[in-house]
Structure formats: C-alpha cells, structure tokens
Structure 1
Amino acid sequence: MSELVFINNNKICTDSLTVAEAFNKKHRAVLRDIRDLECSEQFRLHNFVHTPYVHEQNKQTYTKVVMTQDGFSFLVMGYSGKEAARFKEKYINAFNAMREKLYAISQPSYMITDPVERAKAWIREQEEKQQLELRAAEYEEKADYVDKILKSPGTMLVTQIAADYGLSAMALNKILKEEGVQRKVGKQWVLYKKYMNKGYTKSHTHIDSEGNSRPNTHWTQAGRLFIHEILKRRGIEALEDIKIATADTEAR
C-alpha cells in the first residue's frame, strides 16, 4: 500500500485513491461519497481539491481528490465496521507522525547547534520566505481582480465562460451537472436549491426567429468565479488566465 499521507502545499494530506485502497472501496464510490458530503461550500473549497492523475496501466488521465486531514475526517466519519475503525486509527497515527516530522524540520535555524544542519536550515528558511513572498503577491493580485469582477454588473452565457477554458458549452454544462450544481428543466439549465439565491445566475427571456420566447440562464460574475473554482479543482485552467474577460464584462 502507498503512503497514507503526504505533504501538499505545506499541508498534510491524503487522496481519494489512497482512501479507496485503504478502506477497500471502489475509487468511484469514494468520489461519490465526497461529492455527497453535506458540508459548506467554503469547507469543501478549503479541504478538497480535484487533481488530474495518469493511470499507471492504461495511461489515461482521470481525476482524484486531494484532501486535508479535516476533509479526511469529515469523509470517513460515516465509514463503519471493525476494519474501517482499524484504518481510521492508522490514518490518525500517520497524520500525527507527519506533523511531528514537519515540526522537527521546521525548527528555526538559530536553535540548531550543528553548524552544517544550521546552514541547511537557514537556506531552507530563505527559500520558504521567497516562496511566501511570491505567493502573497499572487494572492494580492487575484484579490484585486476578484473584487473588480464582483463589482461588474455584466452577465455571461455559459458558451462564453466555457470558451475561456477551451471547452464547449455542452462539456461545461455536463461538468456542472456532475458536480451537482444544476439540472435541466425543459430546455433550460437551472441551479439546484442549495445554489439558488447566491447571485450566481440570472434568467433572461430569449426570443427566437419565429417569435417564440423561452427562458435562458446567464451567469453573473460571482457565478463565473464559482465555476472557475470548480474547474480549478478538476485541474482545468483558463487558456490564458482568469483575467481574460475583464474587458468583455466591463463592456456589457
């Protein structure tokens, strides 16, 4: 069996493949369990990340979910039985052991007596400091952009949003359906109840060439950022950057 936990973005994590192996479950069943968790969207965004991986045997690309210790605890809370209890205990021990290891290597350089180890620790500290400064600059830039976008009153069709990621409207609608975000009523995609009243969409009436009218769903900028986070969890990035449609939204 592979290692139960690992370090990802300076957090102790595990993933859905490892959980499936440890608890003797099908991977698709674990993905379903994660999808069906009745947690807040904020908790989900902070503790579960969809990540692409290449299958060792068929070399095809699939999706797994990397989860934090809190995410793991929330997920396996519902797993019962003697065998499940045994693996819960193994996971707890693995998380604690990894935390102790992180604490040991994160000891400040000035507290290390061995000169060689002190020098190594100092170099590591400087590298981490540079990474933190770069990350802080990126977060500040993204925060400014998000604030600008959320203030924009413009809306977008799903076709326009999908194009930013090299997807078709059909493909994006399918992803949103798989994520439990929307369902089709007649010819219109509508949000499930949990996502209504969040300001993600607006309904517009479309008149076709024959004079017939039908409702059509448009996404607000808050909805567009919501979609961006969903696609990001799946490892799908915008073709250039999330900023690509600033001019489009402000021109509407």
Structure 2
Amino acid sequence: MSQNVNNIILRESLTIDTRDISDFTGVPHYAVLRKLDGAKNKDGTTKFNGIVEVLRDERISVEKYFVESIYVDAKGEKRKCYLCTRLGCDLLANKFNGQKGIIFTAKYVDMFYKMEKALRQNKYSYLIDDPIERAKRWITEEEERKGLRSEVSKSRAKVIFADAVCNSNSTILVNELAKILKQNGINIGGLRLFDYLRENGYLVKRKGSEYNLPTQKSMDLKLFQIKETIINHGDGKVIVSKTTKITGKGQKYFINKFIGKNYDGC
C-alpha cells in the first residue's frame, strides 16, 4: 500500500463519540442523535430523515462517517451512540450553526490532531509486512486507544467539575447547574433541581414574594447570591426582580453532593 493509503486508513480508524460532540456544543446528546437518525411522527411516519438515512438512500457507505455503537449510562442501561470518523465530523459540523459550529469544529480538529500525532509517534507500528503480526499489533493498539477513550470519558465529569468551581468569582443560574450535573450522568433537569433545593431547605418553598429565593441557611453558607434587576414600566411603576444565582462555593458544594467527587485543584 502507498503511504497515502496508509494515512487514510489510519485517520479513519480514529473516532470520537457523539457524547463528546454533545459536550463540545452544549447540545443534548439526544438532539445530536436526531441529526443523525432523523425523527418520526407519532403515527410512525417519517418526520425528517437524518444524515445516516440520507447516506444510505444514496448508497454511500455510512461506516466511513458514522459507526453505530452503545454505551452504558449511570443507571447501568445500554444507550445508543455513534462513533464519528474525521469525515463524519466534517459532515456533521455543517448541521451546527454559528458559535456552536465554530466551537465544535475547533475542538474536533484539535482532538483528531492529537490522536493522529500520538499514532505518528508510534510510527504506524501495526502497518508492518507480516499480516499476522500486523493484525496482532493493530488489535493491541486498538485496545489501548479504547482504554484511552474510556479514561477520557471517566475524567469528563472531573473536567466539567473543575471548570464550574475554579471560576469562583462567577455565579450561575440553577438551570445551568442542572446542565452541568446532567453532563456528569446525573439525570436531573432544572425543575427537578429546584424541587430538590426547596425540599432540602436551600430555597424558600413557601409561595409568595420569597419563593425560590435562598433560605437564611443557604445565605449563611454562601451558596447563593441574589441578583436584583430594576424594571421600569411605561406607567412609571418600578419593579425589582430577584434572581437566585449559585456562587462558586455553591457550585462546588452541590456538585460534590450529587456526584460524590472532591476536586481541590484550580
């Protein structure tokens, strides 16, 4: 085989998970899958075709772009995902507009560059003359790469956690904390997180002007801040809107509470 052919095979053996794409773009994983699989109406008819179906209809090899796979979620249940080749990422990037598309492109290009660099340092060690030895070497290195991807996946929670707590001067909304927790495998949304905070005495549960504002206990622990916004109406009436925001200390407190991890470095 020519060196160019070797390079193509090597590049296309590298993939990134659609869950990584979800992390890169901030788009929920199910929404990334919809771009690939399309969607059905309630009566089972096609609402719109995804990228995978379009490729199949045109008799284009899907596996050059996307390889269907599964992963095990935090509940131990098997879920669908795709492993995307460099070509697949190039194709999928066109489906993300504006800032999301730019960020996704920058991050997947960087990830593939690092993976390709690591393989080049091995000098294509499994592309050797003896076919049996070549197969053995390829299997060994593929298992090592899978192990590396697994470690990256396991460390994803710690990375997101570090990003959340190290910027201690920044406050975030409760809904934003829910997104961080969900990216770490905690199945919770904004409404359910508000329920949790109220039921556990962090936010006021009594309906009225203080509803969803921090309790005195939370303020004493410096878990929250209250942002006040003055709204001027055309009739001269002035209203002060109060929004609950979570401090850097609060982010660390609640993330540790939910995912059971401690992270001290900033």
TM range (shorter): 0.3 to 0.5
* TM-score in terms of structure 2 length: 0.36
Larger radius of gyration: 2
